[in-house]
């Protein structure tokens, strides 16, 4: 109980403030990319919630299963994909390098690659890069496990700038290396590096502010909606920390201890509430963030996101609960109460996304399963084997195509255009 509710107040200010009159200014400050609705230009999609806005796709697979348009090897790793303008981008490890791949969506042909020296670093898992790139306009931002940070030109992969942000900020690496995706905020990049983040100029890579040399967590930074000033929540190895994006000041720290400092699931925000969740039997907790410090509403051991962030849809959380290696399960939880509505134990889930009111589950053995997202139960409407290897990466739907990736580096494109 004390681990969850212990809060360190560093500044006195409301965490969540509805600022409807200033909403236009807030959105302008974020500099949200004006990608088409079908583009999936950042980690967990356009809205950062794991949900695609697309409705013009089909999953009425007959006996032969889904239509795999192409398959491409992209090296060992856990990086998800981002998609823009008929190009798909991801990272993988090949021949003592981590490589960025730019691939033609239509035929799977490689348009360009960009490589940098890196170790596979396969201690305790298969190794390879674990961060997902971020697209902003005509630039691609890439974060490596050892702190490598690059800005690349999308058209040809040319390097605009590159730094080692851990060296520049003089902070240590987390145990498994950096995994969080860069978050674009106006002219800046927010990174989960150090105790409570690092902010750099997206045009030059110059540091604007950094935080203390303490171990970071593995979740990506998330902005509190409609916060004023703009506040991001960043996972350290010991807490989830509210940070003033402009100054880097820590506003509060919600103590959150997880084995191996593995705070890997992003915080989820809705209606003035914040959900924190992690694995290794840590569990979940919902907080009210309407005051100056988070106030506990409920806590539960019934949802434990070891790696993947749950998806919130129409008042219910859909998430992967438990230890991935030991055999996790898929669950539906009531956001307001923490009550479990249903649980399926034999799926071996590897990654989860959502589109058009449907869950897209990629199992660890590589089966793609589609089912309506409903608290009434799990009733698949389509399924098919799409990968040969092991997968812990969430599927991505963009432009009527579903992209699935294995740890061993098989990337497939499934044509679901209606």
User: 258: domain CATH number?
Assistant: 2.130.10.10
pLDDT (0 to 100) of residue 342? 99
Rounded Cα distance between 92 and 80, Å, is 10
Coarse DSSP helix, strand, coil percentages of the chain, rounded to the nearest 5 percent: 5, 40, 50
Would the pLDDT of 7 be above 90? Answer: no
Alpha carbons 115 and 174: distance in angstroms, whole number = 22
Q: What confidence category does residue 3 fall into, taking pLDDT thresholds of 50, 70 and 90? A: very low
> Could you identify the residue written with the tokens 């255009």?
417
Of all residues in the chain, what percent carry a pLDDT higher than 90? 87
pTM of the complete model:
0.91
Of the ranges 2-6, 358-362, 401-405, which one carries the lowest mean pLDDT score? 2-6
The boundaries of the domain holding residue 195 are 51-415
d(CA 182, CA 134): 6
Is residue 38 pLDDT above 80, yes or no?
A: no
Classified as helix, coil or strand, 240 is: strand
Domain membership of residue 67 (yes or no) is yes
- Mean pLDDT, range 358-372, rounded to an integer: 98
Residue 356: count other Cβ atoms within 10 Å of its Cβ. Answer: 17
In a domain, 33, yes or no: no
Looking at the 3D structure of the chain, how many domains does it have?
1
pLDDT tens column, 117-147? 999 999 888 999 999 999 999 999 999 999 9
User: Helix (H) and strand (E) counts for the chain?
Assistant: 3, 34
Does residue 338 sit within a domain? yes
Structural domain contains residue 213: yes
The tens digit of pLDDT for each residue in 304-335 reads 999 999 999 999 999 999 999 888 999 999 99
Q: For 21, left (φ over 0), alpha (ψ -120 to 50), or beta? A: alpha
Q: For residues 109 and 37, which has the higher predicted lDDT (pLDDT)?
A: 109
**Is the pLDDT score of 295 beyond 50?**
yes
Is pLDDT at 150 greater than 90 in this prediction? yes
Closest alpha carbon to 134 in 39, 38, 265, 262: 39
One DSSP character per residue, 207-219 reads EEE---SS-B-SS
Spatial separation of the C-alpha atoms in residues 236 and 213, rounded to whole Å = 11
Q: Which of 255, 300, 290, 254 is nearest to 270 (CA)?
A: 290
Q: Point out the least confidently predicted range of 36-45, 90-99, 322-331.
A: 36-45
Q: Average the pLDDT over 7-26 and give the result.
A: 38
Domain annotation covers residue 403: yes
Specify if 37 maps to a domain: no
Beta carbons within 8 Å of 189's beta carbon, 6+ residues apart? 134, 141, 149, 182, 183, 199, 200, 201, 202
pLDDT the model gives residue 65:
85
Does residue 32 belong to any structural domain of this protein?
no
Express each pLDDT in 164-221 by its tens digit.
999 999 999 999 999 999 999 999 999 999 999 999 999 999 999 999 999 999 999 9
Asked if pLDDT for residue 101 goes beyond 80, the answer is yes
* Confidence at residue 268, expressed as pLDDT on a 0 to 100 scale: 99
- Does 374 fall in a domain? yes
CA–CA separation, 84 vs 69, rounded Å? 18
Whether the per-residue pLDDT at 35 is higher than 90: the answer is no
**Helical ranges in 125-269 per DSSP H:** 165-169
């Amino acid at each position: 109980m004390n681990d969850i509710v212990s809060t360190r107040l560093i500044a006195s200010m409301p965490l969540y403030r509805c600022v409807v009159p200033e909403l236009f200014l807030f959105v302008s400050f974020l500099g949200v990319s004006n990608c088409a609705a079908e583009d999936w230009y950042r980690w967990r999609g356009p809205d950062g919630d794991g949900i695609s806005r697309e409705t013009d796709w089909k999953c009425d697979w007959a006996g032969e299963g889904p239509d795999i348009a192409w398959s491409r090897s992209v090296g060992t790793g856990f990086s998800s994909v981002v998609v823009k303008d008929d190009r798909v981008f991801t990272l993988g490890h090949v021949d003592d390098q981590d490589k960025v791949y730019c691939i033609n969506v239509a035929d799977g042909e490689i348009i360009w690659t960009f490589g940098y020296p890196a170790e596979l670093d396969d201690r305790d898992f298969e190794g390879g890069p674990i961060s997902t790139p971020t697209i902003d306009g005509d630039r691609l931002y890439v974060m490596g496990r050892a702190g490598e940070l690059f800005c690349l030109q999308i058209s040809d992969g040319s390097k605009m700038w590159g730094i080692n942000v851990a060296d520049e900020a003089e902070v240590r690496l987390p145990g498994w290396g950096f995994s969080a995706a860069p978050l674009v905020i106006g002219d800046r990049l927010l990174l989960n590096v150090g105790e409570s983040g690092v902010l750099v100029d997206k045009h030059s890579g110059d540091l604007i502010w950094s935080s203390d040399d303490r171990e970071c967590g593995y979740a990506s930074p998330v902005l509190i909606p409609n916060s004023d000033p703009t506040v991001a929540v960043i996972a350290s190895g010991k807490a989830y920390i509210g940070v003033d994006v402009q100054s880097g000041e820590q506003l509060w720290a919600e103590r959150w201890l997880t084995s191996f400092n593995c705070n890997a699931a992003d915080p989820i925000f809705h209606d003035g509430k914040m959900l924190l969740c992690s694995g290794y039997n840590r569990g979940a907790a919902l907080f009210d963030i309407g005051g100056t410090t988070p106030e506990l509403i409920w806590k539960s051991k019934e949802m434990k996101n070891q790696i993947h962030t749950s998806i919130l849809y129409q008042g219910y959380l859909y998430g992967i609960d438990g230890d991935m290696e030991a055999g996790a399960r898929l669950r539906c939880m009531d956001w307001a109460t923490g009550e479990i509505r249903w649980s399926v134990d034999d799926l071996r889930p590897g990654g989860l996304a959502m589109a058009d009111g449907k869950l897209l589950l990629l199992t660890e053995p590589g089966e793609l399963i589609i089912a309506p997202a409903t608290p009434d139960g799990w009733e698949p409407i389509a399924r098919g084997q799409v990968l040969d290897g092991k997968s812990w990466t969430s599927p991505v739907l963009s432009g009527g195509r579903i992209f699935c990736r294995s740890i061993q580096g098989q990337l497939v494109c499934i044509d679901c255009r209606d």
